[in-house]
Amino acid sequence: MNTLRCAWLLAKKDLRCYFRDRGAMAVGFLVPIALVTVFGWIMTAISGGGGGGMPQATLYVVDEAATDETRAFVERLRKSNMLKIEPKPTAKPLTRADVEKKVADGDTSHALVIPSGFAISNTAADAPKLVMFRDPGRKMEQQIIQIGLFQSALAESNGTLWWNGLRKSLVEAGLTNEEVAQIQVPANSMTDLIGQFLDTEKDKQTEPSDPKPTPDSDAATKSPATSAESSNSTASKSDTDNENEDPMAGMMSFMLNMVPLDDKPIEPPSRPRRVTYQAAQSVAGMTVMSLLFALTGCASVLLAEREKGTLRRLFAMSIPRESVLFGKLLFAVIIGIIQVSILFVYGELMFKVGLFRDPLTLSVLVLSWVAAASSFGMLIASAARSSTQGDGLAQVVILVMAALGGCWFPLQMMKLPVILDIASKSMMTYWAMSGFQGMLWNQLDLTNSKMQIALAWQWGWALVLMSLAIYFFRRNYCRD
């Protein structure tokens, strides 16, 4: 009898047992659904509340001007705790087209271009402005970058930026140039105050503890509305929805408008209107993690069979021993596909993340992750000495992989040390997340090279883990 038929007979048996075992079913299907729900809510709540801890956002910068002033400005941006500036000074500089593609591909959420002829202190209406390519759905990063950008621009302009912005508003409010000049001295001291506020209070961005900027910002928010610059009003429009709820937003748009910025949101046209980055993140993260748990659980049936003695009986039958391993693999893959289907239908109903927009990409992504996750389970089951050891080991490794791979929290938001960054990118969970996020958020399909790389990593992992599983199976199960 061939290995495939044996594997199928064995898988059929395991499937039957699985679906009769209500406890296993509950763990397999309800727990992931609960996780998706809870994390979905938490993540959405966090994103509404401005984020906790010390968030950091990645900003790609292209310095086309390359003057001493703009270079100093970029250096200043690099020093900001809130910003992670790419590419690194030692790396090859990118072009405007490069970063625009990066934003479009979802490689980064924000990219800043400093055009040639740009000067921070030049606020003339026709002066070249900074260009910001950004993903408009990434509000968390946007807020962080606005603060970081303003802080750096303010510091680099020696206060002239602040003053120029205020002067512009005051002139627009009807004051003459002479009257404005009289306010310059107190205004400069306020510059210092704000500078201090931004330097010392950056951990408390959500609490506008300094009352002084508030009256000014009230006056100033009116200025972009009356401004002749159409691009500036685009920028303020994207912030208007925040203005009413968030007292910080008013000041934010005031600050943003002082930095002469040409705001360019890039959004995939097919992205569903209701999808939020956090919902996509939760659905992807919880799917990736719960599949790992579920499929490792399926594989551990191998250990249970060894302990219960049924494996001895199977091994005494006229079937190749490897077919037992492949039977478990087949079982895990089938359960994985069923679980993902249920989870995704639920996720779609709950969060409307547009999961079924591209069935081909979805199927390939699911299959790749199911392959990698089941191989991991097979490795644990064939290498562990007992099911207790296997379960313990699996839980630790899965939790580490899930955390490092970004299943719980978008890692782009954290300031990761290099070692951790490398560790994160070598996790197979990272590439599964990258694939699902690419599909859900950036609406990429299989023709995109970023997606292909994510898939290649997963299949690479699947191959390595499965080879190891076969090696350990032969060593631990096929020798006397």
Partner 1 sequence: MTSMSDKALLEVRSLAYDYNGKLAVDHINFSIQPGEFFGLLGPNGAGKSTTIACVSGLLSRFRGEMFFSGKSFSPAKNLSDRQHIGIVPQDLAIYEHLTARENLQTFGGLFGLSGKKLQQAIDRQLEIAGLTDRAKDLVKTYSGGMKRRLNLACGLIHQPQLVLLDEPTVGVDPQSRNHLFESLKQIQAEGTTILYTTHYMEEAERLCDRIGIMHGGKIIAIGSAKQLAIESGLPNSNLEEVFLKLTGRSLQDS
Enumerate binding residues for partner 1 (CB under 8 A).
1, 6, 9-10, 12-13, 16-17, 20-21, 308-310, 312-320, 480
CA–CA dist 452, 465 (Å, integer): 20
Provide, rounded to whole angstroms, the least separation between the CB of residue 303 and partner 1.
15
Provide, rounded to whole angstroms, the least separation between the CB of residue 6 and partner 1.
6
Radius of gyration of the chain (CA): 27
Q: Which is nearer to partner 1, 125 or 317 (CB)?
A: 317
Q: Which is nearer to partner 1, 92 or 479 (CB)?
A: 479
Provide, rounded to whole angstroms, the least separation between the CB of residue 298 and partner 1.
14
Provide, rounded to whole angstroms, the least separation between the CB of residue 445 and partner 1.
41
- The residue whose two tokens read 């390519």 is 133
Provide, rounded to whole angstroms, the least separation between the CB of residue 389 and partner 1.
21
Q: Which of 150, 174, 171, 173 is nearest to 162 (CA)?
A: 150
Tokens of 199: 């330097």
Provide, rounded to whole angstroms, the least separation between the CB of residue 329 and partner 1.
17
Percentages (nearest 5) of helix, strand, coil residues in the chain: 70, 5, 25
Q: Which is nearer to partner 1, 409 or 477 (CB)?
A: 477
Q: Which is nearer to partner 1, 6 or 394 (CB)?
A: 6
Q: From residue 219, how far is each of 28, 230, 257, 460 by CA, in Å? A: 57, 20, 13, 58
> CA angle, corner 18, sides to 16 and 21, nearest 5?
110
Burial class (CB in 10 A: 0-12, 13-18, 19+), 423: middle
Q: Which is nearer to partner 1, 16 or 222 (CB)?
A: 16
Q: Which is nearer to partner 1, 318 or 447 (CB)?
A: 318
| Cross-sheet strand order for the sheet of 130-134 | 83-86, 57-63, 110-114, 130-134, 261-265
CA–CA dist 3, 420 (Å, integer): 42
Provide, rounded to whole angstroms, the least separation between the CB of residue 421 and partner 1.
45
SS3 391: helix
Q: Which is nearer to partner 1, 315 or 346 (CB)?
A: 315
